[in-house]
Amino acid sequence: MGEYTLQIESVTGNELSQAIRLSGALTSDNVGEVLFHLSSVFDKKENVLDLSGITEIDFAGLKLICICHRTLPLSGKNLRIIGHTHAVIRDTIVSNDYQHRSKCAKDSHYGCVWTDMCPMVEEQKTSSNSASGESSLPVGKTIGGNRFEDH
Residue 67, phi then psi, degrees to nearest 5 = -60, -45
Residue-by-residue DSSP string for the chain: ---EEEEEEEETTEEEEEEEEEEEEESTTTHHHHHHHHHHH--SSEEEEEEEEEEEE-HHHHHHHHHHHHHGGGGT-EEEEES--SHHHHHHHHHHT---SS--TT-SSS--TTTTTHHHHHHHHHHHHHHHT------S-EETTEE----
CATH number, position 81: 3.30.750.24
Q: What local confidence, expressed as pLDDT, does residue 85 receive? A: 75
Q: What local confidence, expressed as pLDDT, does residue 91 receive? A: 84
| Maximum distance among all Cα pairs of the chain, rounded to whole angstroms | 55
Please list the ranges in the chain whose pLDDT falls under 50.
121, 125, 132-151
Find residue 47's DSSP bridge partners.
18, 79
pTM to 2 decimals? 0.70
Closest CA to 22 of 112, 13, 9, 10: 9
Number of domains in the chain: 1
> How many CB atoms are located within 10 Å of the residue 76 CB?
7
Residue-range definition of the domain harbouring residue 115: 4-147
